[in-house]
Structure 1
Amino acid sequence: MFTGLCAFPLTPVIRNGVDEAGFRKILTRLIAARVDSLGILGSTGSYAYLTREQRKRVALLARELAGNIPVMICVGAVSTDDILRLTEDAQEAGADALLLPAVSYQPLSNDEVFSLFETVSRHTSLPICVYDNPGTTHFTFSDELHGRLSSLDGIGSVKIPGVPHTAEAAAERVRALRSQLHPGVTIGISGDAFAGLGLNAGCETWYSVCGGLFPEIAKQITQAAAMKDHERVTALVDRMEPLWALYRKHGGSIRVMAAAAGVLGLTDTDCLPRPLKPLSASDIAEVARVITLLDLK
Structure 2
Amino acid sequence: MFKGLSAFPLTPLNAQGIDEAAFIGLVQCLVAAGVDSIGALGSTGSYPYLDRAERRRAAALAVEHAAGIPVMLGIGALRQRDVLHHAQDAQAAGVSGLLLAPVSYQPLRPDEVYGLFEAVARNASVPICVYDNPRTTHFDFDDDLYAALAALPQIGSIKIPGVPTEPEVARAHVSRLRGLVPARVTIGVSGDAFAATGLNAGCDAWYSVIGGLFPHAALALTRAAQAGDAARAMQLSQALSPFWDAFARNGGGMRVMATAATLMGLTKPDSLPAPLREITGAERERIAQIIAACDPS
* Same-fold status (TM-score > 0.5): yes
Indicate the TM-score class for this superposition, using the shorter chain for normalisation.
over 0.9
In the other structure, the counterpart of 2:87 is 87
AA at the equivalent of 2:292: T
More displaced, 63-72 or 280-289?
A: 280-289
Q: CA deviation at 1:285?
A: 2.0
> Secondary structure in 2 aligned to 1:187?
strand
Structure 2: which 5+ residue stretches go unaligned?
none
Distance 1:76 1:9 in 2: 17
Once residues 275 and 169 of structure 1 are traced to their aligned partners in structure 2, the CA distance between those partners, rounded to angstroms, is 40
Partner of 2:227: 227
Please list every run of 5 or more consecutive structure 1 residues that lacks an aligned counterpart in the other structure.
none
Contact 2:163 2:194 in 1 (8 A): yes
* AA partner of residue 236 (structure 2): L
Secondary structure at 2:235's aligned position in 1? helix
1:258 aligns with 258
| Superposed counterparts of 1:156-167, under 5 Å | 156-167=156-167
Return the TM-score normalized by structure 2. 0.98
Question: Which amino acid in the other structure matches residue 42 of structure 2?
Answer: G
Aligned to 1:243: 243
Q: Deviations over 1:186-219 (max 9, x none)?
A: 0000000000110011001000011000000111
Deviation at residue 84 of structure 1 after TM alignment: 0.5
Equivalent residue, structure 2, for 1:182: 182
Deviations 1:68-94 (A, max 9, x none): 100000110011100000001001111
TM-score, length of structure 1 as denominator length? 0.98
Name the SS of the counterpart of 1:262 in structure 2: helix
Could you report, residue by residue, the CA deviation over 1:144-189 in whole angstroms, capped at 9, with x for unpaired residues? 2111111101111000111112112211211111111112110000
Number of residue-to-residue matches in the alignment: 297
- How many percent identity over aligned positions? 52
1:269 paired residue number: 269
The Cα of 1:287 is off from its aligned counterpart by: 1.1
Partners of 2:154 and 2:2 lie apart in 1 by 12
Letter in 2 for 1:3: K
Task: State the SS of the aligned residue for 2:140.
Answer: coil
Superposed counterparts of 1:20-35, under 5 Å = 20-35=20-35
Q: How does 1:46-195 map to 2 (within 5 A)?
A: 46-195=46-195
Q: Secondary structure at the match of 1:6?
A: strand
Offset, 1:270: 1.6
Task: Give the superposition deviation at 1:37.
Answer: 0.2
What root-mean-square deviation, in Å, do the aligned CA atoms of Structure 1 and Structure 2 show? 0.9
Task: Give the structure 2 partner of residue 294 of structure 1.
Answer: 294
What CA deviation, in whole Å up to 9, does each residue of 1:15-35 have, x standing for no partner? 221111111111111010010
